[in-house]
Structure 1
Amino acid sequence: MELRCVDCSKPHPLALLYRCDACGGILEAIGDDGTPRVSLGETVTPLLRAARIEASLPGFSGEIWLKDETRNPSGSFKDRLVASALGRALSLGVRRVVCASSGNAGAATAAYAARAGVPAVIVVPAHTPLGKVTQIAAHGAILLLVEGHYSRSYDLALALAEQHGFANLTTTFINPYAVAGLTAVGTELVEQLGGAPSHVLVPTGSGPLVKGIWQGVTDAGATTRLIAVQAEGCAPIVQAFDQGREQVHAWGTPQTIASGISDPLIGYERDGTYTLKLVRQSGGRAIAVSDDALRAAMQLLARSEGIYAEPTGASPIAALPRLWAEGHLPADARVVCMVTGHGFKDGKVYQDLPVHTHRVDDPTDTAAVARICEAALGMS
């Protein structure tokens, strides 16, 4: 394994380095030297055919598949990054870690650090959903709540790493060993489908999952079109794509229920620029979805396919109708939607959605109860 800058190609030693010392570019890990990962039993996640979602797209004759990353030990795809990055940190002798997170990476870092027996500091925005904060705290990590957007948490974690000897497990592009842990997603897709999908829809903040899928599919000798999905309230990569720019500019204050992709990229815009480059190289695109579309997609996933996903995890489903309506998906497309985070991460959004709840005053009156059920099911 070696580290190499994606911009100037300068090689670097295997160490805890976060940027190229020549140009400040993103570092990527090339190859695999067999460093053991810290494990909680993560394995290949299910790939499920979504027939009812296919049927919701009039005229669509292809395939929709759901890569269910909610089955990872802490409930999100972030486990893959943290397992890899923490294993590398321990091999280099570092015994304390820090992670800036919008929630999922922090939960993964807290869980895997507990497994490894090392202290963890998790830095999150103060408005992080309660489900994610509760999960982080349960594992005994030191939890730092920072007012404002995610990029402020990112800056604090970087300072703790560079000035106080913490291994930085933040899951943007800052830790090349973490990003390398996502290559398996792309190779899994090719193996599970018996070939590459035509399109992969990826919830996207800074974009390491886009890179991991691209790398894994490429390593398998195949190609796919990458669709980076962002929230309308925080869409710096989509904005650059729509405007035909090569450089991504930082976003302002995010406004979205999709906390997992609520990343304005302030101070590390190069991450977004690299992701944009990969999307364009693949022949794909970037698309933003509204909060209303996210809520509808969450309901569709839960009620039609049995998958309980947080808003970020449902974002690819939210993007499908528009992609189809605007002609960005061929009728026979073979599409994979990355469902990246479990619904327990942000139960508040579900609690605010309408549900089929009825009060039963007399549970012995089964005829009355049956009438309630039949009416609710449209059988009366």
Structure 2
Amino acid sequence: MSLHIETPLVASRPLSLASGLDIWLKLDALQPSGSFKLRGIGAACEAYARQGKRRFVSSSGGNAGIAVAVAGRILGLPVTVVVPETTTERAKQLIRQEQAEVIVHGKAWHEANALALSLMGEDDAYIHPFDDPLLWQGHATMIDEVAATGFKPDAVVVAVGGGGLLSGVCEGLARNGWGQVPVFAVETAGAASLAASMAKKQLVALDGVNTVATSLAAKQVCQRAFEWSQQRPVYSHVVSDQAALDACEQFLLDQRILVEPACGAALALAYAPTAELKRHQKVLVIVCGGVTATLDQIRQWRAAC
């Protein structure tokens, strides 16, 4: 039995009117953990539990850690999550709410990740937040669910941080025979590692990250995400933090769902599509969710932008 749920696919009248396109939403914000992360992470945790692992260790800016914690609680295994100092108090509280241990270390995810790896014991399973084939296979199920409804999009819009969601979406499109459906990969300006890699046609790491969309704050996308960007139609798009935050507030008004700025990045493109996206009528937006930011925090960030 999978730990994630099948989420709704809905047509959005407000976003369709705003964009002039036929916008459809895959509402993975409704997963039990609050984000799409539970699909792949749940699958990975189940696989490692079957192998006899006794504890899950992970690193996260928030949502991946929450998903590991949810999976560990359901499977009856202890969880340790190392988070960077930028992680919100709400994210830490939600991880602890699932009976997991939280360790705060480092100014950015890569520093937290290094400590997480150092904690590994023989009976532990390391759960990477985005770079694991098990995760991509799990995330791909969202496209399987879309295909099962009979709806085929002309384009897909996804937010990109470490590239786990992008890798899963591309895998899902490929295995459903939709390999030529273009993917619009959206990042915030302070964490646009995929855009930098695509511009140079090689995998590159940013010197640093600076964005309120902390769930996108990876200095480098995973190798598989970059490979997909070179192998199939992928269009890179970068939005400002302000645009992502504005989209979060508008989406709450339009769809009555609160998402965090990482998801707001994808929604920003849906609300204000580029000329390239406007070439495609039926657009699927992956509402990846995220629960690490409150509405008050979003409004504080907006005021500071």
Q: 1:214 is matched with which residue?
A: 170
Shift of 1:101: 0.6
- For 2:280 and 2:157, locate their aligned partners in 1 and report how far apart those are by CA, in whole Å: 16
Work out whether 1:235 is the aligned partner of 2:183: no
Contact 1:66–1:337 (Cα < 8 Å) also in 2 = yes
- Greater relative CO, 1 or 2 (CA 8 Å, sep 6+): 2
Q: CA deviation at 1:329?
A: 1.7
Match of 1:282, as an amino acid? R
Once the two structures are TM-superposed, the CA of residue 331 in structure 1 deviates from its matched residue by: 4.5
Of 45, 49, 70, the match for 2:11: 49
Q: Which of 114, 117, 129 is 1:171 aligned to? A: 129
Aligned Cα RMSD in Å? Answer: 2.1
Equivalent of residue 346 in structure 1, options 281, 284, 293:
293
The answer to which of 223-232 and 331-340 deviates more is 331-340
Task: Quote the Cα distance in structure 1 between the aligned partners of 2:192 and 2:137.
Answer: 24
**Match of residue 300 from structure 1:** 250
Which residue of 2 is the match for residue 336 of structure 1? 284
2:191 counterpart SS class: coil
- Report the alpha carbon displacement of residue 71 of structure 1 after superposing the two structures with TM: 0.7
- Superposed, 1:1-380 pairs within 5 Å as 37=2, 39=3, 42-57=4-19, 60=20, 62-161=21-120, 164-173=122-131, 175-192=132-149, 194-223=150-179, 224-241=181-198, 243=199, 245-265=200-220, 271=222, 273-320=223-270, 323-324=273-274, 327-342=275-290, 344-347=291-294, 348-352=296-300
Aligned amino acid, residue 260 of structure 1: S
Change (3 A) 1:196 1:154: farther
- The normalised TM-score by structure 1 is 0.74
- Given that 1:183 and 1:212 are in contact with CA atoms closer than 8 Å, whether structure 2 keeps it comes out as yes
Larger Rg: 1
- Offset at 1:322? 5.4
Query: Runs of 5+ in structure 1 lacking a partner?
Result: 1-35, 355-380
Say if 1:225 and 1:279, in contact at 8 Å, map to a contact too. no
Which letter does structure 2 place at the counterpart of 1:335?
V
CA-to-aligned-CA distance 1:150-194 (integer Å, 9 cap, x gap): 111122223333x55420112221x322222112112112223x2
Deviates more, 1:115-124 or 1:333-342: 333-342
Distance in 2 of aligned mates of 1:331 and 1:178:
31
Q: How many residues align?
A: 301
2:203 partner SS: coil
Looking at structure 2, the residues matched to 276 and 330 of structure 1 have their Cα atoms a distance apart, in angstroms, of 24
CA shift in 2, pair 1:276/1:321, >3 Å: farther
Question: Does structure 2 retain, via aligned residues, the 8 Å contact 1:190–1:197?
Answer: no
